[in-house]
Amino acid sequence: MKIIREFLPYFDERPNGATVKALVLHCSAHSARDMIEVLRERELSSHYIIDLDGSVWQLASEKKRAWHAGESRWRGMHMLNQYSVGIELSSATLGQSAYHPAQIKSLIKLGRQIIRHYQIPAVNVVAHSDIAPTRKPDPGIAFPWEYLAYKGIGTWYNLADAAKVAENEVAVLLQKIGYDTTDLAAASYAFCRHFAPAAVAVDDDVYHLVDNVYPVDFTLPPEYLPILKAVAHRYEK
């Protein structure tokens, strides 16, 4: 894979004993070139960007702790910058409309390499919204999680597994998957973004979306409880 390298200075060393255990997937409403300038202005970085045409840019060595995830939690990990590789994808709608096939093709190739190299468990291939549900909506409802799982990037659920789960408490099931449920509405909405996007409203104004990530009064619609149970079963295996 051809990679365009334009390293940014916004990274540091991973803490002693911290190993890569997760792949965090993001999107930003900018082309790669514009995204690099935005990251530079904000003194942030990601390990990779996948542009609209599928071209791949590297901004930091995988050996280093890039500054892409911020305050975040997932399956016992806190501050996932320490434990992850981050990939940004360009998306003018913040992932609310379909990604270009060239981007997904590049993501599959790059993601497989990273997952294989670090032996990242499928349950630790996550959305930025999964690990920071109160702050981030990306990579959005149009991100093709089911297809990517088929291609070896992350995992998906089998709805028949819902019958194997006796638990019905939403917070408990979300915690089994890995979500921080301190804000249950945010965690529930993030779950829907990943696994039940039909429950998530499209926001035509991406600037509004960035500042209004989830409805503060959101509760998981009862018809989506079987999906939640099936996902929890898959993530507990």
| Residues noted as catalytic | 88
* Residue 16 CB neighbours (<10 A): 5
Q: What is the dihedral of CA 167, 121, 133, 150, to 10 degrees?
A: -90
Residues 6+ apart with CB under 8 A from 51: 31, 32, 57, 90, 103
Residues 6+ apart with CB under 8 A from 4: 55, 56, 57, 58
Instruction: Give the C-alpha distances (Å, rounded to integers) separating 61 from 57, 90, 128, 172.
Output: 11, 20, 20, 37
- Amino acid occupying residue 28: S
